[in-house]
Structure formats: C-alpha cells, structure tokens
Structure 1
Amino acid sequence: MDPFGQLPWFALQNILSNLDLPSLHSLHNASPEVMVFLHRNHNLFTYIIDAIIENTARERGLMLHVQHAVRLIIFVWTRQSSHKSAVPVQEPDTDILGSLQLIREQSPYNPSPIWKTISPSTPSAILCQLLSLMTRLRCLTHAYFHSTISKCLQIHVEHLPKKTKYILTRGIVDPSQRPPGIPYTPVDIGPPTWLEEQRLLAGLLCIVLFYELRKTNNQVSSDDNVEGFWTTVFERGGQVEQIATLLHWLDGQASGHAKVYSWLLSGKGSEDYNRCCQRYTSMTDKQWVQAEIDLCSWRSSRGMQSLWRCYSPFRPYGVVFWDGIRMDALGLPEAQYSHYMWFTWSFMLTEEDWEEIRRRQGDPSFDRRR
C-alpha cells in the first residue's frame, strides 16, 4: 500500500512543499498516490512548485534571479503549448525579451520585483516537464562541478614567497622565468555550496531559455548564438562568462556546439550525480555577508573578481563559479594580491596560452590589464 494515500491533503501538501524540485520529481514518479494528488489538484501542483522555489530558509529554494528563469521557462513552454493546442491556454500578454533583465544576478538589498507566480492554469504536463528538466540540470550541475574540481586538484600549484617587493613578477611571459616558488597541494573541501550550485544552475537555465526562445520568438533568430544573445541582455560581466564557461564544457560533452542542446536535455550521463552530494558545503555568516557584498557590486564570485576579462584560459577549471572558501583551499590567491595571484594562476596556463600571451604583449593595441 502506498502510505502517501493515507495522509490528509493538507499534510501531503506540506510534505511536498518542503522538498526540492528533483526530489518532488522522484516522488511523483515513485508514488501513484502523489502522482494522482498532483494531477487531480491542479492549483495545488502550481502552489507547491512556487513554495519550493521561494523557500527563504538558508540553503533552500532558489535565488531570486533563478526563480525568474524557472518561471519564464514555464511561461515560454505554456505559450508553445497554446500555439499547438486547439484550445489555447489563456495567458496574459507578456514582453518576454523585456523580462530577461530579471534573470540578471541581483543584490539581495535591492532585488527586482517577482516576475509572477506560476499560473494555476499551467498544464500538469508542463509542470512535469519542469520537474524532469530540474532533475536533469541537477545531474549536470554536479557532473560539471566534480569534473572541473578534479582538474583544479591536479594543478601543479606554487605560491610566491612573501618577500617585501617583487619586480616584474607580473610581467613575466615565459614560465621558465618564474622565480622559485613554494609548492602547495590543492585541498578538496567537498560538495558545492548552495551559492555555487545556484550559479551553475542559473547558467544552465539561461542556455535552456535561449534555445526555447529561438523555437518560437521571431526576435531570436537561428543565427544567434547563446553567448552573444546573453551579452546583449546582460552586457559583459560575470553571468555571461559563467554561461560561456558552461558552454565550453558542454561542447566537449556533446562533441560539437550543434549538439549541445539535445545533449543537455537527454545526453548520456551518470545518474549517480543526482545523489552524489547529499549536503552542501556549509558557509559561515561572514562568508554569506561577503557573498551579498559581491552581488551588490555585480562581481558574482571571487573567481569572477579575480579574472578581470582574462577568461578563456581558465574556463576548463570553472573558477568563475567558486566561492572564496574553495578558492583558498585550492590555493588560488585573490585579485588584491596581484603579484601572488599572477604567479600562482599562471600554473593553470597551457603552452598555447603562453604563446597567446606573448603575442598579445607584443601587440601595442592589446589592453595590458588582461
């Protein structure tokens, strides 16, 4: 007997509202009683999903801009369904492209208004499609995390001894000219923090949203590309670079850019990544305050702060997503210590990267801040 069938509706609603979306998806598929409850009580299905993504408890729910992305994807899917249906779903007219600014990372002290809650008229099939997508993205988020952290742990890292002054350390463009360093062994601090996972999830949702908009919105042409599209929305910055970094990984997984979206939705991957990290790496109150300061200044993450427009050589390591606690454990100094940072981060460069640096430093038009 399915025990969920013995619960009163309000108790079952409360239980389901305190899950995350992948867990709700698993329970929906595993329990016939839960499936019937959600599909029969249509308005409660939308209410439960809204309650899950809006959960304000620390390390629960979704960040506000991620909530906007989820709701906008539901709206786009509903519009697509309406165009195909003999009985169109009645939805208010919405400027979708104009709403994309709400998906920009935002300060917790000055957030944008909630775009809208999920419409109670949203078909159950679309809500189930969302649960399936969020389960898939959870898997990809952790597959990406473990893949890139593994690369970070394999870096041969050395730190510059803390002398009073270094001359031309940052200007060295030949790895053989590095001064003697102190070897450092990168440390794995475990699962991602909630904020790191949210950054990864937001980037993947932006990629999904681009391809879904390209299906039905005549303002997004087949000639547009993901990074270029989001650059026009967000301008250059942390979020665009996070999307580009994910695309770099997805291109390799899908064996080509043209196959990225189909692989993202259904490509072969280990289901173990849906269960690999049962808890987040905890953050102290001080680290939460620093994360809020970073969001206020549009710096996103400490890895993003450190790169300052020198992105592509470091994309294989995913550093634009990592918090300060992870960067410290990996032995990667922050930007305020420029000599020490350049010395250590340069160990992540390939020989091709060094050739590119030499070429650019020989070009007077090259911006040396890179």
Structure 2
Amino acid sequence: MVLEQLEDLTSLHSVYRASPAVFSLLHEDGTARRIIEAILDLSSPDSTQILIRKFARLRYDRAVTGVDNFIDRYIKNTTEYTQLRRDVPVSALCDVLAASSTIRYLAHAGMHEMNDRCMALEMYRMENPEVRYIRGAHRTPALRNVEYFPVPKPPRERYQQEDAGPPSAVEEQVAIRAIWQLFLIWELRSGVINRQWMWPASEVSKLQNLPLDEIWKDSLFNSIIEQTRTMAECSCLFPALSSSVERYRSAKSLACSAQWRLSCNCGPPSASQIKCIGAIDSTPGYEFVLAVLSPWFTSPCRYVEFCSFRRFGFAIWDHTRMEALGLLYPAHGGPPTSQSPRSEADQYVRWESILGVKDLEDIERKRRHYWPGRDYIHLEWPH
C-alpha cells in the first residue's frame, strides 16, 4: 500500500487531513494500526517507536491508578510496547498522528532557535595556543603549597564559528524523541487534572510535586534526560508558564495555528538515513562538559554545570555541529579543520567564552571553595 511508504507519521497526518478517502480508509478496522506500524518501522528509531506506542496506549488507558503504577507500566516497562495493541481505538491513533506533526514542528522550531543562539555567540580563542593554564598535566603536586589565584586570562581573539546547516537526521531524531518523552508526562498530568483518571488527592499531589527527572531516572541515562530538559526550555514549549498542563495546551495550539508547517523547509530524512543512524544516544557536547571541562583541574571552567550551556542545544547537537562551532576536535582522529581547537588550553578558552558573568563568578566561588582541587569533584553524572 502506498500509504505505508510515506516518509513519516507527519506525512500521513497531512494526507489524512486532506483526503476524505484516506480518512475513511484509516477508520476501517485494523487499517490505521497496520499503516502506522509500517511507517514507524521505516521512519523512527526503536526508542522513539516505544514512546509513541506508550503515548497511544495512555490516550485510552483508564487503568492507571497512581504515580508508582504509571512508572511501572509506562516508564520501566518496554516489553509490552513492541507493537501497537490490537484493541487500540482509531481515535487514539489519530491523536498519535496529530501529536507526531506537532512534535516535528516543535522539534524544528526549537533546534533552529538554539542554532540561532549558537550563531549569535561572540566566541574567542587564544592568540597563542601554546600557552598553558596553571600547570602541566604531570605537576599537580606543585599546587599543594600554592595559594589560591583566579583563573588566568591569556590574550584571546575573536573567531567566527561555522553553521553546519539544517538539522541532521540524528539531531532531528534526538529532538523528536526528547519531546515525545516530555509529551508522555504532560499527557499524564493533563489526564489527571482533567479527571481522566479518578486519582486520590494524595496521588495528584505526588504527581504535581514530582520533577520530570525523578519520573525518568530509573529508565534513562542522565544524558538522555538532559536532552528532554534542553527541548523543554525552548520558547516554543513555553518554559515561562508554571503549569505543565498549560504548556502542553499552548505548545499544541502553536503547532496547530501554524498548520504544522516548518518555516525552515527541512524535509524528513529518508528511510535509509534512519536505518543508518543506529543508536541516537551519543551526546558529544554533554559528555565533554561532564568528563573533561568540568572535572579537569587545568580547565578554566572547572566545576561548571551543564545547565550553563543548555540553551545552546549542546545536548542535542551531533559531533559535526559541535566541531563546526570550534568546540570539539574532529571525530575518530580525523584531520583538523580551520575551526578545530589548536591546543587543549585553546579549547578551554573557547568554551569559557560562551559563559556569562554569573557563570564565571560561580566557577571562581567553587574553585576557591575546593582549592587546591587536586581531586575530581563531580557535580553531575552522565549515567
């Protein structure tokens, strides 16, 4: 069937809304479920497919009795979500199509917003990349008798970061998965507030006071949760609103008012691109901050927390984009480019130039507190 070869669920949603014949076809018994499963297999990584099936089930499931029950059935459990259930109503599948269009719109709006912030950065590098910070890597005992001193500020010069172009297939799938993770929780909270489930007051209060991180902590690495935090802070998901139910409603209304059309004209990745992605769990920017920039004693950004970089999308971007920004070396030992850091100290200066005054003051406060800082101090953990 031609519909089963569509690029993604967003395309199916567009056809469904435009064609009365397709509308009728999808309401035939079992047809919509079969078509959606075929498109999912072609257009989405396994982890996103599981989230979509969970969302579909949550739209009609009336058996969720509380927060712990939800976490057991929808967060920890993945074995029941290898296929859409045969009893899934067509209305829930139509909700999945609308949510897919909404999420793809929001993912691209958020990614372009973060990329624009990256391109607007005034980034600096060292004039002399051979200058070292503090001490050589093998002279840490010398710090033992040295009194505290602020981070040195060697001469630096402006450099121009490069734009890596439209979001890659990997970046798009990472952003889409992150918003599905967010929508699943928002769907639960919306259902509870709208009394879809008749929960006792104690369970309602428990859900309202439970952060997103706590709900997902038993199922996801911190790096994956950080991707959800990143997308949740995009303006298209209305972070200024205090209620997640209001944010959910506003985000869906925004996408609907735009008729799910992307202003960037980014086409969906082909099925071959999706199949080549494999795992989408790599977070090179996040891992560099937590494994090198924050803990390493010679770093001028020591003790920095990743939230200082979140608004620039560094948990979403792939290695190619981070390399174009001049923040990471080429992957797999590839040849350096004109944007590549020219030394370890030069790389540190580039990251430091992104930080604001409050971030730098916080780093100095922590350096003074932990001085001389010979031991690794982990403020966050990637796993």
One-letter code aligned to 1:187: E
1:23 to 11, 31, 34: 11
Question: Closer, same or farther in 2 for the Cα pair 1:324/1:280, shift >3 Å?
Answer: farther
CA contact (8 A) 2:123 2:160 kept: yes
Structure 1 residues 6-59: Cα deviation after superposition (integer angstroms, max 9, x where no partner): xxxxxxx333442311111111111111111111x231110110111111xxxx
CA contact (8 A) 2:7 2:269 kept: no
CA contact (8 A) 1:173 1:357 kept: no
Question: Closer, same or farther in 2 for the Cα pair 1:121/1:252, shift >3 Å?
Answer: closer
3-state SS, counterpart of residue 166 of structure 1: coil
CA contact (8 A) 2:133 2:345 kept: no
- Give runs of aligned pairs for residues 58-207 of structure 1, distance below 5 A: 61-80=43-62, 97-101=72-76, 115-160=81-126, 163-164=129-130, 166-168=132-134, 177-207=152-182
CA contact (8 A) 2:129 2:346 kept: no
- The whole-number CA distance in structure 2 between the counterparts of 1:232 and 1:265 is 28
Select between 313-322 and 188-197 the one with higher mean Cα deviation.
188-197
3-state SS, counterpart of residue 256 of structure 1: coil
Equivalenced residues, count: 321
Provide the residue aligned with 2:234 in structure 1.
249
Provide the residue aligned with 1:352 in structure 2.
358
Q: Structure 1 unaligned runs (5+)?
A: 1-12, 56-60, 84-93, 104-112
2:313 to 306, 315, 318: 318
Question: Closer, same or farther in 2 for the Cα pair 1:65/1:266, shift >3 Å?
Answer: same
- The whole-number CA distance in structure 2 between the counterparts of 1:53 and 1:118 is 11
- The whole-number CA distance in structure 2 between the counterparts of 1:145 and 1:172 is 39
3-state SS, counterpart of residue 31 of structure 2: helix
CA positional deviation for 1:169: 8.5
Question: Closer, same or farther in 2 for the Cα pair 1:73/1:191, shift >3 Å?
Answer: same
CA positional deviation for 1:102: 6.4
| Overall identity of the aligned pairs, in % | 22
Structure 1 residues 320-364: Cα deviation after superposition (integer angstroms, max 9, x where no partner): 110111111122225996533321011111111111111222223
Q: TM-score, normalised by structure 1?
A: 0.75
Q: Does 1:224 align with 2:210?
A: yes
CA contact (8 A) 1:192 1:280 kept: no
CA contact (8 A) 1:335 1:341 kept: no
CA contact (8 A) 2:3 2:12 kept: no
Structure 1 residues 188-207: Cα deviation after superposition (integer angstroms, max 9, x where no partner): 22211111111111111111
Question: Closer, same or farther in 2 for the Cα pair 1:264/1:45, shift >3 Å?
Answer: same
- The whole-number CA distance in structure 2 between the counterparts of 1:146 and 1:180 is 32
Q: TM-score, normalised by structure 2?
A: 0.72
CA positional deviation for 1:228: 2.8
- Give runs of aligned pairs for residues 258-273 of structure 1, distance below 5 A: 258=243, 259-267=246-254, 270-271=258-259, 273=261
CA contact (8 A) 2:284 2:318 kept: yes
3-state SS, counterpart of residue 311 of structure 2: helix
